[in-house]
Amino acid sequence: MAKSTRNPSWTRDELLIALDYYLDNSEDYFPPTGNGVLDLTRRISQVAKALGLTGSNTLRNANGVSMKLLNFRAHDPNFATKGLSRGNKLEEVVWSEYADQPLVLKKVVTTILDITYVAATVDTPVLPDDDMTEAREGRLLTRLHRYRERNATIIKRKKASALKQYGHLCCEACNFDFHATYGDRGEGFIECHHTKPVSELAAGKTTKLGDLVLLCANCHRMIHVARPWLTVKELLEALAKKA
């Protein structure tokens, strides 16, 4: 069977890393043979690998990386960039989300690069579930968030601690109680959400009970349904507004 050697589209993670480099070096011409672009290409390739992306042996080469940087320049109001291609839609989105927040972006990128080797060993699918929209911070951090909050051991401890304290399990945002509503079938059912901002997740750190909140499936889904993900406080504000 012939293997497709077409390279996959750039992911949000890779674009975030490229944009961070662009903002640090926005005066540069980004020659593909320059050390800066070569180093950047290595970092991006590492992330592409952690994401499980496969393609031809040009999967993230210096020419492609240099072109992405110039695509970002086409969005940069500090440059007259007639004739430069603006790239695809995702580049525009990433630019609009982060170009004016270079420090926030740097933190996200540092965390992505830090967790690259962990994420590569986390045995979860490349694409996030349907019930979780990929975070603004990219797929690797989405995956790590999901992995952390679905750890069976810590979920068991969190539920046991809530049961001991309150005598029942209910959603910390809307108070929904699966057992009260669905009877025996709902007993013990509740989801956990990891409250740490994903840019602060770190490799090798264990989840503490205090990092988790118990949420019903609806509230949890509302947090993750669109970018940026909501904090629990923002979710509560949304609930209060409609009441």
Binding site for Zn ion (CB under 5 A): 149, 171, 173-174, 176, 193, 216, 219
Closer by beta carbon to Zn ion, 19 or else 171? 171
Q: Tokens 């989105």 — which residue?
A: 93
Report how far residue 141's alpha carbon sits from residue 11's, in angstroms, rounded to the nearest whole number. 13
- Least Å from the CB of residue 172 to Zn ion: 8
Q: Which residues contact 232 (CB under 8 A, 6 or more apart)?
A: 172, 173, 193, 195, 213, 215, 223
Report how far residue 106's alpha carbon sits from residue 95's, in angstroms, rounded to the nearest whole number. 14
Closer by beta carbon to Zn ion, 23 or else 119? 119
- Least Å from the CB of residue 105 to Zn ion: 22
Report how far residue 46's alpha carbon sits from residue 127's, in angstroms, rounded to the nearest whole number. 17
- Least Å from the CB of residue 150 to Zn ion: 9
- Least Å from the CB of residue 219 to Zn ion: 3
Closer by beta carbon to Zn ion, 83 or else 210? 210
Closer by beta carbon to Zn ion, 43 or else 145? 145
Contact 172, 214 (CB under 8 A): yes
- Least Å from the CB of residue 11 to Zn ion: 20
Q: Which residues contact 81 (CB under 8 A, 6 or more apart)?
A: 73, 74
Closer by beta carbon to Zn ion, 110 or else 218? 218
Indicate the SS3 state at residue 202.
coil
